[in-house]
Amino acid sequence: MLEAVLEYLNNWFERNPVTRERRIHAGRLSVEGGRLVGVPDGFAADGQYVRIRGSRLNDGVRPWPCEGQLEDEPEFTGSVWALSVPKAVTDLAAEVAEWCAKYGDAQDSPYASESFGGYTYTKAGGTGSQGGSQGASWQSVFAARLAPWRKL
């Protein structure tokens, strides 16, 4: 879910907020034994998120080191970005994931209303009480809380 949140924000936090340094390693990479090969030692700190681009099998955002999370892949030309995602954003992404687990099935339904045997159900738009949702997307429910990090 973190990757979906970062995509929505249009913000990958690829620059270190203190040094403004941007850490991107581009070139020939491969995955052998579930381990990313071709990235220099010390590229990212343990637990720091990285974004892999250009891979046929392993594109995405993962915590570093990625060992055991990747599919073996022969050499490819790609890049790995060291991300500096604030803890507040990762915590919010976890809340979004919980919300989606709770309300996602209702969101995926193509029906706004149904009626059978004297029973009628209508899915309302917007958010329900208790922060739940009837017909709203996670983006609309969390928009105000995500706004400080959103890049247009």
DSSP 98-125: HHHHHHHHHHH-S-SEEEETTEEEEPPS
Per-residue model confidence as pLDDT tens digits over 76-131: 999 999 999 999 999 999 999 999 999 876 655 555 556 666 666 555 554 444 45
Q: pTM of the predicted model, to two decimals?
A: 0.78
- pLDDT at position 105: 67
Report, as an integer, the average pLDDT of 125-152.
76
**Residues above pLDDT 70, as percent of the chain:** 80
Instruction: Please provide the average confidence, as pLDDT, over all residues in the chain.
Output: 86
Q: How far is CA 82 from CA 61, 62, 66, 125, 140, in A?
A: 10, 10, 12, 39, 29
Interatomic CA distance for residues 48 and 51, integer angstroms: 10
**What are the residue boundaries of the structural domains of the chain, listed by start?**
18-82, 87-149
